[in-house]
Amino acid sequence: MPAPITTARSHYRSPSPCSRAVGPRVPVEENLVFFAQEELSSRETLLKARRKLAELLLLDPQSPLETEDRLEGPAPALPEVEGAVALALERNPALRAQGLRWKLAEIQRKHEFNQRLPSLDLATSYKSNGTASASGPLFSEIREGKRPESSVGLTFSIPLWLNPDRAKALSAEMEEERSRVELAKQRQSVGFQVRNLLTTLETTVERLALAKRRVELGEKKLEAEGEKYKAGDSTLADVVRFQRELDQSLIGVQREQFKLLDGWNQLLQAQGGFFQSNGIVIDAL
């Protein structure tokens, strides 16, 4: 007996025009949500940065602060490494302050050492006397120096208790040595800091060039995708995706420009020339 023939009922339904329209809109809406999130995050960061700047400038938090210098601009010419290090070792504020502390410790050490030594002091005096009872003749005798009196003397002293003075001298000597070692450590640290900053600046300049090239390629890709969309060979979701990639590339360029500017300012600070380069003059007290 032949097997019965059964027919399977298909559950497939052809997509309606509405379902075809919903498909491409999902990634488009997703990109719009992403753009909105990035915009909110940027606004929050900008608002906090303005308030922080107002706090540093002792201004009202609602002060309308705007930047005058833009991130865009030519990359600065990087100085030669050894010259930059030498300039930092000469002008770095922290090094100069530590050098003064070392000199002060040296003076203190010499002073404490001198307190242990015997001393011989020469003392001289001169005075003019008067013996008249009346004030007029008395001042006349003093002015004319009729009865002068002078003396010369030597004072020799020897410290009797040397232990306290010896302890003070030893402490001052140790403090001087600590100041000298600290200065040497700071000089070495500043040298490494300047070299690292120059390395960072050099790589940042290269990354900035690559980021700009990426923007150029992104613009070409977006333009080509737009032409394909006009010809019906692409979708709106693809166009939005390329636009999103281009926006990320533009943000990447600005980040590298900020890193370059920040690194340059750090180098100026290490070299003690940050205020002068920005036209800020600090009067000496």
For 85, counting Cβ atoms within 10 Å of its Cβ (0-12 exposed, 13-18 middle, 19+ buried), the class is: buried
Q: In the chain, where are the structural domains located? A: 80-117+162-274, 118-158
Higher pLDDT, 108 or 117: 108
Task: For residue 3, give Cα distances in angstroms to 6, 54, 128.
Answer: 9, 89, 154
State the pLDDT at residue 42. 85
Task: For residue 276, give Cα distances in angstroms to 71, 126, 265, 281.
Answer: 20, 56, 12, 7
For 231, counting Cβ atoms within 10 Å of its Cβ (0-12 exposed, 13-18 middle, 19+ buried), the class is: exposed
Q: What is the pLDDT of residues 55-70, one digit of tens each?
A: 988 888 888 887 776 6
Q: What is the pLDDT of residues 152-184, one digit of tens each?
A: 888 877 776 667 777 888 899 999 999 999 999
Helix (H, G, I), strand (E, B) or coil at 12: coil
DSSP code of 69? S
Any residues with CB less than 8 A from the CB of 183 and at least 6 apart, and which? 95, 98, 99, 101, 102
Examine the pLDDT at 128 and tell me if it is beyond 80.
no
Phi, psi of 125 (to 5 degrees): -150, 155
Across 107-112, average pLDDT? 89
The answer to whether the Cα torsion of 203, 209, 215, 218 is positive or negative is negative
| Polymer length of the chain | 285
Across 190-196, average pLDDT? 96
Confidence band (pLDDT; 50, 70, 90) for 136? low
Distance CA 49, CA 254 (A): 16
Straight-line distance from the first to the last Cα atom of the chain, in angstroms, rounded to the nearest whole number: 117
State the pLDDT at residue 4. 41
Task: For residue 13, give Cα distances in angstroms to 8, 9, 10.
Answer: 15, 12, 8
State the pLDDT at residue 138. 66
Distance CA 15, CA 230 (A): 24
Confidence band (pLDDT; 50, 70, 90) for 140? confident
Across 215-234, average pLDDT? 93
Distance CA 160, CA 125 (A): 28
Helices (H), the chain: 17-56, 81-91, 93-114, 135-144, 162-230, 236-270, 274-277
Helix (H, G, I), strand (E, B) or coil at 154: strand
Q: What is the pLDDT of residues 12-32, one digit of tens each?
A: 333 333 333 344 556 667 777
Tell me which CATH code domain 80-117+162-274 carries: 1.20.1600.10
The two tokens of residue 120 are 């011989």
State the pLDDT at residue 130. 64
